């Protein structure tokens, strides 16, 4: 994993193939891998492969998401282009999380109060956009993938906001049964919660940045 870059992806597949599909187990594996790979660039590259293998319920967990975002931020400022690409790949996986995955990972009690991952990633817009003129084609490709994911998530989270707003209005009117039905429908289609504060303003600012 550390010395043979070409073998990292299949080896990461093997690592998770023998790991129980529980968030706690995956976090333990990630920390164990870090202990055995002291070279940060190699570890971040491994994370970029492992992130693509995480199920939505695992990656949507607060602790798991924080770990991936932390190393992605480190990667973006690294001098090696391959490490920066790995950072963009991690961000793309995080930004692609559905609202349902995020609300499940944060717990039902936080529904309506979680911050969408794509908004967290969008705060890095100046850094991400600075890579658009990078001479390496792979950097350009990953920037396009990330930006397209962010724009797509705008629509998905806005749909969820509309559903949650309607459910809240029905609840205020005493429509408890209809409220529960609306929430169930929204969860089943994977359209998660509204962001903390003013999601409309935040998503509009993001559109101004990328579009």
3-class secondary structure for the chain?
A: CCCCHHHHHHHHHHHHHCCCCCHHHHHHHHHHHHHHCCCHHHHHHHHHHHHHHCCHHHHCCHHHHHHHHHHHHHHHCCCCHHHHHHHHHHHHHHHCCCHHHHHHHHCHHHCCCCCCHHHHHHCCHHHHHCCCCCCCHHHHHHHHHHHHHHHHHHHHHHHHHHHHHHHHHHHHCCCHHHHHHHHHHHHHCCCCCCCCCCHHHHHHHHHHHHC
Please tell me which residue, 1 or 175, carries the higher pLDDT value. 1
Per-residue pLDDT of 27-67, as tens digits, reads 999 999 999 998 999 999 999 999 999 988 888 888 999 99
Please give the Cα distance from 194 to 161 (Å, whole number). 5
Please tell me the pTM assigned to this model.
Answer: 0.73
**Model confidence at 183: pLDDT above 70:** no
Q: What is the pLDDT of residue 167?
A: 76
Classify residue 102 by burial, with Cβ atoms within 10 Å: 0-12, 13-18, 19+: buried
User: How would residue 83 be classed by pLDDT, with cut points 50, 70 and 90?
Assistant: very high
**Model confidence at 200: pLDDT above 50:** no
User: Which CA distances in Å does 134 have to 44, 70, 122, 168?
Assistant: 20, 23, 19, 46
Structure tokens at 78: 């690294």
Percent of the chain having pLDDT more than 70? Answer: 73
Please tell me which residue, 81 or 201, carries the higher pLDDT value. 81
Please give the Cα distance from 160 to 164 (Å, whole number). 6
Q: What is the pLDDT of residue 39?
A: 92
Q: CB neighbours (10 Å) of residue 20?
A: 10
Please give the Cα distance from 106 to 159 (Å, whole number). 19
């Amino acid at each position: 994993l550390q010395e043979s870059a070409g073998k990292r992806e299949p080896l990461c597949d093997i690592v998770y193939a023998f790991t129980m599909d529980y968030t706690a187990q995956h976090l333990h594996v990630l920390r164990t891998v870090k202990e055995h790979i002291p070279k940060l660039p190699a570890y971040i590259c491994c994370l970029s492969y492992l992130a693509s293998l995480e199920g939505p319920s695992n990656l949507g967990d607060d602790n798991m998401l924080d770990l991936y975002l932390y190393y992605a931020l480190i990667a973006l400022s690294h001098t090696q282009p391959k490490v920066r690409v790995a950072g963009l790949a991690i961000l793309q996986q995080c930004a692609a999380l559905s609202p349902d995955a995020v609300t499940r990972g944060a717990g039902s009690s936080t529904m309506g109060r979680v911050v969408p991952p794509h908004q967290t990633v969008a705060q890095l817009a100046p850094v991400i956009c600075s890579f658009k003129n990078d001479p390496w084609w792979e950097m350009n490709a990953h920037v396009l993938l990330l930006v397209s994911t962010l724009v797509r998530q705008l629509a998905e989270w806005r749909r969820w906001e509309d559903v949650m707003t309607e459910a809240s209005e029905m609840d205020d009117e005493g429509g408890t049964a209809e409220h529960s039905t609306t929430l169930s429908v929204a969860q089943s289609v994977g359209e998660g919660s509204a962001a903390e504060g003013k999601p409309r303003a935040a998503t509009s600012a993001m559109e101004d940045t990328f579009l």
